Structure 1
Amino acid sequence: MSQTPFDASERLAWAGRGEAYAAGFGRLCAHPVPALLVAAGVGAGVRVLDAGTGTGVAAAAAAACGARVSAVDAEPDMVRLAAGAVPAADVRIGVLPHLPYPDGEFDAVVGNFVLNHVGRPRRALAELCRVTRPGGWIALAVWASPAAAGQALLGRAVRAAGVSRPGWLPALAPDEDFPRTEDGLTGLLGAAGLVAPGCRTLSWNHRATPDEWWRGPAAGVATIGRTVNSRGPVVADRIRRRFELLAAEFADASGVLVLPHRALLASGRVPARRHSP
């Protein structure tokens, strides 16, 4: 079975929420894109796949570089938005770990946080390797652990309100997980057979108003949104009030939140010669 309970839960978490994501978390997740494209060697004429394209931010940036862009996402609403944002790209539905492309189709593959949303990261990475030509590059971003203070804010508000992750919301199976550290992600790429895998940490401050930062969870976006809304509007409002109190720690003189975040950026090259199993 290629789809796990975690995968099924992710499909529900993102279904129909493309615009809500774009207005909030989407701006946050755009930060690693320039570095991701550089790490994968994306430039004019390069055949690149943006795996887990979301609303198409990385695909659009690759197209602006003159690359020949394809993009996939598991969520039809995201595919619709990405196709509208990047008309020059071939955007279609694709669900890891099975992508609708032949072996070696791309010179480069990028995945901006896609491994955070799959139930079998190793199989997903193997599939990204399969569709990359020998000698081609793969570059991936994932959230670092432990989370930076800005990233942890919403979770703190949930706990302060006395709410825990719902028992019906599946987590990634422990035997499928990997350390969300530079060494852990480098090791994942090395175990997949990528040559000269490397990883570095990206740190930045994301700026948003309290209303902007709350809007995504209130709309049910991602796991945090499903948790916020899991016990009805009264409890969701209690979480919101805790959020507003805690958010004051990050507010600048104008009231805008300055939220520290950290992500891992890793890359590696598919071997020039693939070994038979």
Structure 2
Amino acid sequence: MTNAEAYDRGFAHLSSHTVAPLLALTCAGRAPRLLDVGCGTGVVTSAALALGAEVTAVDADPGMLELTARRHPYATIRRATLPVLPFEDEQFDAVTGNFVINHVAGTAEALKELHRVLRPTGILALTWWKADEMTATNVFADAIAASRIPYEPPDRPFTGNDTPPRFTALLAQAGFQAAAVDTVRWRHQVDLASWWTDVVQAGGPRFDVIARQPPETVECIRGHYDRLAAPYAREGFPVCAYLAHATR
């Protein structure tokens, strides 16, 4: 289980950059019944509530859900994992998923499920990272590699579907209309020491290997991280994500 508080300080801040464009698509000029899939610590939920949306938020991690429920008592919080959602057909006006589809093993099945719970003309908006331009996290993988510790990164089940042409094709196969993918770029400006602490404490499948090492190995990885991250101290890490949107 991910450390929710550390995730909130680190990864949630990183992922918050795409919240405004997500909600510009799904909440423009109205207050929809919105499903926030893979809500994490609630960055989308919080912003959608502020816009007047009726929000249902789901996640697989109990710690994330507990934190989101504590902060946002006016949201409906449910534990659920794609590709199976505990909702009736056509229940929502909009569905958002901020960096969750890239963690789902069955992309096609997940999209069909999201199509099922949307009402006709409902809007879907999903984001995922462009992996080769994720300097903010790739710097950790590079530091681990430079430390020469035995490490087998977890599989990326989404890799075969992460290009805009492939993903728009999957959206069409799931029954969506007018599918498109936009590119979003920004600089993630963060204190480098805090970023190290928050990512390592958050853990998760990619980086929990760091905290499991003996102290001298952790210090070795940290030294490589400091060296690799230093060029980004002033202007921030360059980050790139994709934003897919479509209509039911």
The verdict on a shared fold, with TM-score over 0.5 as the criterion, is yes
* 2:28 equivalent to 1:50: no
Given the superposition, is the C-alpha separation of residues 213 and 247 from structure 1 closer, same or farther in structure 2, using an over 3 Å criterion? same
* 2:179 equivalent to 1:193: no
- 1:38 partner letter: A
Structure 1 residue 85: Cα displacement: 1.9
- 2:245 partner letter: S
C-alpha distance in 1 between matches for 2:126 and 2:17: 13
C-alpha distance in 1 between matches for 2:104 and 2:151: 19
For residues 237-273 of structure 1, what are the alpha-carbon distances to aligned partners after superposition, in whole Å with 9 as ceiling and x for unaligned?
A: 2111110111111122xxxx61110000000011xxx
Counterpart residue number, 2:187: 205
Structure 1 residue 165: Cα displacement: 3.3
C-alpha distance in 1 between matches for 2:28 and 2:112: 20
TM-score between both structures, scaled by the size of structure 2: 0.92
Alignment of 1:80-159 (within 5 A): 80-159=66-145
Counterpart residue number, 1:238: 220
Structure 1 residue 45: Cα displacement: 3.0
Counterpart residue number, 1:9: none
Structure 1 residue 177: Cα displacement: 4.2
CA contact (8 A) 1:110 1:140 kept: yes
Counterpart residue number, 2:242: 264
C-alpha distance in 1 between matches for 2:28 and 2:214: 45
CA contact (8 A) 2:22 2:126 kept: yes
Alignment of 1:156-195 (within 5 A): 156-163=142-149, 165-166=151-152, 170-173=154-157, 177-195=159-177
C-alpha distance in 2 between matches for 1:232 and 1:48: 45
Q: Which has the higher helix share?
A: 2
How many equivalent residue pairs? 248
* 2:201 equivalent to 1:219: yes
Gaps of 5+ in 1: 1-11, 271-277
SS at match of 1:263: strand
C-alpha distance in 2 between matches for 1:102 and 1:38: 26
C-alpha distance in 1 between matches for 2:202 and 2:134: 22
C-alpha distance in 2 between matches for 1:67 and 1:157: 42
Gaps of 5+ in 2: none
C-alpha distance in 2 between matches for 1:117 and 1:220: 16
- 1:246 partner letter: L
C-alpha distance in 1 between matches for 2:228 and 2:217: 17
CA contact (8 A) 1:164 1:227 kept: no
SS at match of 2:160: coil
SS at match of 1:100: coil
Given the superposition, is the C-alpha separation of residues 261 and 177 from structure 1 closer, same or farther in structure 2, using an over 3 Å criterion? closer
C-alpha distance in 2 between matches for 1:98 and 1:87: 24
Structure 1 residue 188: Cα displacement: 2.5
TM-score between both structures, scaled by the size of structure 1: 0.83
SS at match of 1:70: strand
Counterpart residue number, 2:7: 21
Q: Which structure 1 residue ranges, 4+ long, deviate > 6 Å from structure 2?
A: none
SS at match of 1:99: coil
- 1:35 partner letter: P
* 2:61 equivalent to 1:75: yes
Given the superposition, is the C-alpha separation of residues 123 and 177 from structure 1 closer, same or farther in structure 2, using an over 3 Å criterion? farther
